[in-house]
A and B are shown apart, each in its own frame.
Chain A
């Protein structure tokens, strides 16, 4: 024990043999000065330390038990050499112990960072719940809230059963979280002489194929809350007319298949991530935190189901003119937007999956990019609405904030602050144009604007990586296995934009189609839409059995909203 409290300063102890291989590789490297790597026989060389020899660490002078008993109000006595664990207490502290501790500290920092940011993302479910409930009518508040509440459980269950395995089961090693080397089995096909990774095959039920692993659990939690964000986007578009059972089945399918499949292609070592390696397209499809993987998948699935389920009764007149159906609580809407903006600090900076090593200190830049894009997004939307309609619309200001955040999600790790501000500003205007387009031209009823916020701006975010990535990021020296930094068209690499466009094409062509076909099958066997009588009455009693606001007297619908007639 006494020997175990030795100090680091006298490392030159006895050192003749070549250094043993460090057990915690990357983090251990800086602990060994370059001179010590020189062969011991070279004239004038400094001897390499022996990894398992006891260290002379007396100069560290750890505080005595008596000193510690007095407390440590200044914080200078807590966390000393006394806290470095010796593997063999009889032998005492060795260099191997120190480098192993350094490695574990790095991974521990990354674990804690990833878990805490994952917890922040989980809280975004509350933000989505109140935004969507506030934007719908009071007669459907219980139903809307319950969809947002249970989508968490439905999604989590599906992801645990198979979603995680499909998404991440073949992408190891995940170096920032200790490797997670059990998740190393990807189903691939050979096309054009190249391997196309399609889905992972390890990690079902988080026990199969080495998934019962501390690093895998961190990865599961973080990826699960991302997946649930995508699922909850759909509930907004289909609100006020979606059968609860159809919602449940759709959510399970999306959490088990649709989302994990595309996420594997982008993040789990699948074919999109390897467009750089296989076809020389930049660094392959690059989506830092999921504008495409999370938001576009959610937004395009929302479009597929919104198209299929049809508009709410009263949304359009018989001539196809849209009626405004205001939500019942703008306070909820804007409060929810703030909760989401707060959660986004987990979403984007957390996507480094690290706060130590591999260029992870860029988390500060990512966080600033995130807040800037949200800010300029709300600017863009409020200016557009103010100029066009003469008033600074509250719900569109909120949607502008979210649109900016959605758009910066993919590029947040690759762009500078000017790029982030431009991306957010464009997103803020784009969300207003997109809402009008879907409302008036396409006539897909979207009570909360989720298709525009997440679908349209998710795609914009994916494209913006190919434009604004400035080539300064360095996450371990490579991205998707291609050396160097992700660089967009404006900074000299047009091939990255092509990789991003292939991602956009896959989202629009494949993800939409898969979501539509799945929704169609569910429509045939279950039916998505509630009966008209229930819709007019409000879904709280017919679907949920209880009113959200039982003590309130709800205002009757205007006549034209009851009959769909209008003009």
Chain B
């Protein structure tokens, strides 16, 4: 899951970069940026952090 989280984070970054060449529309670029940031945040805060929390030190007693 840690790898999946990192891949999501990277995908969220690459999406708006690739979109630079796919559209000239400012609105579309803005939307893709927001979507990309959200994907990265989900990858980091949900997937990656979730993987770490599974074996968190405070759960071990």
Contacts and interface: CB of A to CB of B under 8 A. Distances in A.
Interface of A: 191-193, 275, 279-281, 303, 307-308, 310-311, 313, 315-318, 320, 442-444, 494-495, 497-498, 501-502, 504-506, 508-510, 512-513, 516-517, 520, 563-565
A247 B48 CA distance: 22
A517 B12 CA distance: 16
11 contacts: A310-B52, A311-B56, A443-B49, A444-B49, A498-B29, A504-B33, A506-B13, A508-B13, A508-B37, A513-B13, A564-B61
A442 B49 CA distance: 7
Closest 3 A-B residue pairs measured CB to CB?
A509-B13, A192-B21, A316-B58
Contacts of B33: 498, 501-502, 504-505
Say what secondary structure dominates the interface of chain B: helix
A280 B24 CA distance: 9
B48 to A, nearest CB: 7
Contacts of A498: 26, 29-30, 33
B37 A501 contact: yes
A510 B49 contact: no
A191 B18 CA distance: 9
B57 to A, nearest CB: 5
B49 A513 contact: no
Given A191-B21, A508-B40, A513-B6, A502 B30 contact: no
Which of A444, A509, A512 has most B Cβ within 10 Å?
A: A509
B58 A303 contact: no
B14 A509 contact: yes
Contact of A512 (B16, B24, B44): B44
A498 B31 CA distance: 9
Interface of B: 2, 6, 9-17, 20-21, 24, 26, 29-30, 33-34, 36-37, 40-41, 44-45, 48-49, 52-53, 56-61
Given A318-B58, A498-B29, A508 B21 contact: no
A186 B17 CA distance: 20
Contacts of A516: 6, 9, 48
A320 B61 CA distance: 11
B9 A513 contact: yes
Which of B2, B6, B24 has most A Cβ within 10 Å?
A: B6
Given A308-B52, A318-B59, A509-B40, 18 more contacts: A192-B21, A281-B29, A303-B44, A307-B48, A316-B58, A442-B45, A497-B30, A502-B17, A502-B20, A505-B17, A506-B13, A508-B13, A508-B44, A512-B40, A513-B9, A516-B6, A520-B2, A565-B61
A513 B56 contact: no
A498 B29 CA distance: 7
A487 to B, nearest CB: 14
B13 to A, nearest CB: 2
B45 to A, nearest CB: 6
A491 to B, nearest CB: 16
B12 A505 contact: yes
Given A191-B21, A310-B56, A442-B49, A501 B30 contact: yes
Contact of A501 (B34, B57, B58): B34
A112 B20 CA distance: 41
B43 to A, nearest CB: 8
Contacts of B17: 502, 505-506
B30 to A, nearest CB: 5
Which of A191, A508, A516 has most B Cβ within 10 Å?
A: A508
A510 B10 CA distance: 6
A216 B30 CA distance: 37
A504 B44 contact: no
A513 B58 contact: no
A501 B31 CA distance: 10
A303 B57 CA distance: 17
Contact of A508 (B24, B29, B41, B60): B41
Contacts of A505: 12-13, 15-17, 33, 36-37, 40
A246 to B, nearest CB: 17
